Amino acid sequence: MGLASEPAFHFKPEDHALGDVHPFIHQGECFLYYLKPGTYDSMLVRSNDWLNWTPQAIAHATVKPGDWMSPYFVLGVFRDDKASVYRSFYGHAKGRMASSESTDLLTWSCAPQALHVPPADYYERRRDPCVVWIPELNQYGCVMTTWMKGKSKEQGGAISLATSADLKQWKDHGPIIHPGNIGEPECPQMFALAGRWYVLASIYDRAVGRPLYWSAESPMGPWKAQPAGELDGKDLCAAQMAFDGAVPVLFGWIPLHPARPGKQTWGGHLALPREVVEMGDGLLGTRLASKLMKSLGGLSWTNTAAVRVSPERTLIEGSWRHLVAEFSFGWPEAGGELRVRCDPLGEVVIQRAALRILDAKGECWSERTLQLEADRPVRVQLFVDDDIMEVFVNEHASLAARLPKRDGMLRLSMKADRGPWIVDVRTASATSWR
């Protein structure tokens, strides 16, 4: 049986790919607004378990002559308690940020014209607004993607900030992050966590790019030009976060086809949601969302304890196209790396300082840095889902990739150097996932 099927764990609407996602969690349910490729219409799916998603139609009020509607009708959503409505700001012509509003998250209308972020004169283009309440200032803040005037697209990328007490009168603070060597940041977002402020964005470089974050003690900065860290690799695209109570959860999309810079399909499948964790010193990490961990408990697991990998060991062979594996190990004194092969698709390479996903020919399709201590055990969760791989390490690092499809039976094996390595393994197929 080959690998030419549809992913079992990763959601996509039946007749189209899923573009930039904007989650809003209300009473434990995720309202996931996204853009439909091609038309860029705002769409909505809903989920209580963040695995099974139900499409939900969005109703649009009649457009009045004085309104300035566009396809970007609902993006990032926030609650305006003073007015008892939900609001969403979206980019419009010449950098103006218009607004829509709803009382039930389903029926949206154009907000009064007074509720908008006015344009300025320091940029070529400004878009992707995200509005958040800033308690320290007793004001709203709006971060926006900016292409600075007089700069090339490869050097003019920046993130700008405006603040307002009433969503009508705004003070533009200009670019707060402008390294001078990046393209436009996709879907910037500002949030507070564990007493610090963060800005999250995906830097455009011929493709949407990996999720990066910046850290500061205050929403007004100072913000360093260079990011404080990364939350995944290049195949977790345009990632956005929402709070489930006090828990921040990250959502993003995986390209519909294997993606190289300059050859990326816009839109694809929804990645598995990740919780964002604070690791100290302003650093952040990610782990598989707790709601999905509960679903894992219902899987039919096969356990293989204390497997000796020296230098290679086959673990399972079968006709599955969708597999979940968990394994843990300690570093041998000599160090080295552990390679987890998922023939015929590819392999995961785990080193103390790096995590990579390779295809069957050894080409790296996604990678990120790690900080694993030599004297602490490593726990890994691996999802092989048709042509998608997602890896979670020690509940603070994740990596997603879409690989070229290849036919053949799935064979899970491990290969290690400088061993022997002793690995505890358990595996489960997707038949008992839902």
97-101, 242-246, 410-414 — which is least confidently predicted?
Answer: 410-414
Q: For position 5, what pLDDT does the model report?
A: 65
Least confident of 119-133, 231-245, 290-304, 412-426: 290-304
DSSP state of 263: -
Return the number of other C-beta atoms located less than 10 Å from residue 401's C-beta.
Answer: 28
Structural tokens at position 182:
């990046």
3-state secondary structure of 74: coil
Q: Which of 263, 284, 305 is the last residue of a domain?
A: 284
Per-residue model confidence as pLDDT tens digits over 235-260:
999 999 999 999 999 999 999 999 98
Higher pLDDT, 60 or 32: 32
DSSP 193-235: ETTEEEEEEEE-SSS---EEEEEESSTT-PPPSS-SEESS-TT
The gap between the terminal CA atoms of the chain, to the nearest Å, is 22
**Domain-embedded: residue 11:** no
Tell whether 106 and 255 lie within a shared domain: yes
The closest alpha carbon to 402, from 239, 267, 230, 256, belongs to 256
Confidence of residue 430 (pLDDT cuts 50, 70, 90): low
Domains held by the chain: number:
2
Confidence of residue 431 (pLDDT cuts 50, 70, 90): low
| Paired tokens of 85 | 């409505």
User: Among the three residues 262, 284, 306, which one is the final residue of a domain in this structure?
Assistant: 284
Q: How many CB atoms lie within 10 A of CB 409?
A: 14
Is 168 within 8 Å of 97 (Cβ atoms)?
Answer: no
Q: What is the mean pLDDT of residues 150-171?
A: 96
pLDDT interval class at 12 (50, 70, 90):
very high
- pLDDT at residue 4, rounded to an integer: 47
CA atoms within 13 A on the CB side of 76: 30
Whether residue 241 is found in the same domain as residue 340? no
Is there a single domain that holds both residue 163 and residue 65? Answer: yes
Contact indicator for 204, 260 with CB cutoff of 8 Å: no
**What pTM was computed for the model?**
0.94
Residue that has been written with the tokens 């100072």 in this structure: 222
pLDDT of residue 432: 46
* pLDDT over 70 percentage in the chain: 96
What's the CATH code of the domain at 307?
A: 2.60.120.560
Q: In whole angstroms, give the CA distance from residue 71 to residue 99.
A: 12
Confidence at 350, pLDDT banded by 50, 70, 90: very high
Indicate the average pLDDT of the chain: 91
Element spanning 299, H or E: none
3-state secondary structure of 430: helix
Each residue of 14-54: pLDDT tens digit? 999 999 999 999 999 999 999 999 888 999 999 999 999 99
Q: 360 is in which domain, residue-wise?
A: 297-432
pLDDT(434) > 50: no
Half-sphere exposure of 350 (CA within 13 A, CB side): 29
